[in-house]
Amino acid sequence: MKLQKILKAINGDSIFKAIAVSMASIIFIIMAGVLISLFIDSKMAIDRFGLDFITSNSWNPVTEEFGAASSIFGTLVSTLLAMLIAVPLSLIIALFLVELAPPIISKPVGSAIELLAAIPSIIYGMWGLFVFAPYMSEHVQPFLQSTFGEIPLIGALFSGPPIGIGMLSAGIILALMILPFVSSVMRDIFKMVPSVVKESAHGMGSTTWEVTRKVTMRYGIKGLVGASFLGLGRAIGETMAVTFVIGNRHGISASLFDPSNTIASTLANEFAEASEDIYMSSLIYLGLVLLVMTLIVQIAAQLWVRHINKQMGGGL
């Protein structure tokens, strides 16, 4: 009887709220723990190089001079290339599967896209190195050079020997990797648009494109932005696929054909070779920079979504 009275006295909602708050707090504890751990382990490099580490292009383990500029540059450019390719393609694929394709086509194609998301990144990297890079060097890069090479400013992007590996190849491989994630999320968002809303627009004489642009995309704009930043988060920290095809050279170049590196590829290639304390500390400093970049991207995503929400009257 006493146990029953105790159970009745306990508020189930309060218990559930306490458990939920505790579980949510674990995320912040883990994030804080990771940041503190990276900061402590990179303290030697921070004390020696300071913020100049971010702007320095030097990376010489022999002289113990390290800088993150080339790795940051490679990370940003390869991610930008991937987003420029993957987001429009994902949007078109999602719209086709939801608005245009009959079920006999949309269901198997949708399942195939989801299967692509299950392929390990190292498989993409191996395929990129042994299949895609030779094709790029023999066909795509010579074509780009002959077509755009003589154009001022633009031509500099396609200068240099067409060796197949480099920034452009890494960006395309990244785009292929994130495309299944982004397109799957966008497809699910478009499916959530109420049919009655689209039917009302059709009943008012709107064309399929007008319904898609003014109803479907507007209704799911927050989800579309979220899907894009989900792909961005995957691309900015990708390791093995990029390591295989980017060339892994420390340096900044205007040409997309030149070998480069990213923060993740540098960590993958050199972490096991870091025998000196300052070398290891510099690599951990790189990891700290990557984590901060990821946090900035997520904050920017939330601010952008809020801005879009206000522009559209908050009705999202």
Tens digits of per-residue pLDDT, 150-199? 888 888 888 888 888 899 999 999 999 999 989 988 888 888 888 888 88
Least confident piece of the model among 134-148, 177-191, 225-239: 225-239
Task: Answer yes or no: is pLDDT of 128 > 80.
Answer: yes
| pLDDT level of residue 315 (50, 70, 90 thresholds) | very low
In this structure, the number of other CB atoms found within 10 A of the CB of residue 230 comes to 16
The residue with greater pLDDT, 89 or 206, is 89
Q: Sign of torsion, CA 261 264 268 271?
A: positive
316 pLDDT more than 60: no
pLDDT computed for residue 232 by the predictor: 86
Identify the residue whose tokens are 């920017």: 300
Q: Which of 71-80, 177-186, 257-266, 298-307 has the lowest mean pLDDT?
A: 298-307
pTM of the model: 0.85
Q: Say which CATH topology domain 42-311 has.
A: MetI-like fold (1.10.3720)
pLDDT surpassing 80 at residue 305 = no
Domain extent listing, the chain:
42-311
Q: Is 263 exposed, middle or buried (0-12, 13-18, 19+ CB in 10 A)?
A: buried
| Measured distance CA(210)–CA(221) in Å, rounded | 15
Which of 69-83, 210-224, 265-279 is predicted least confidently?
210-224
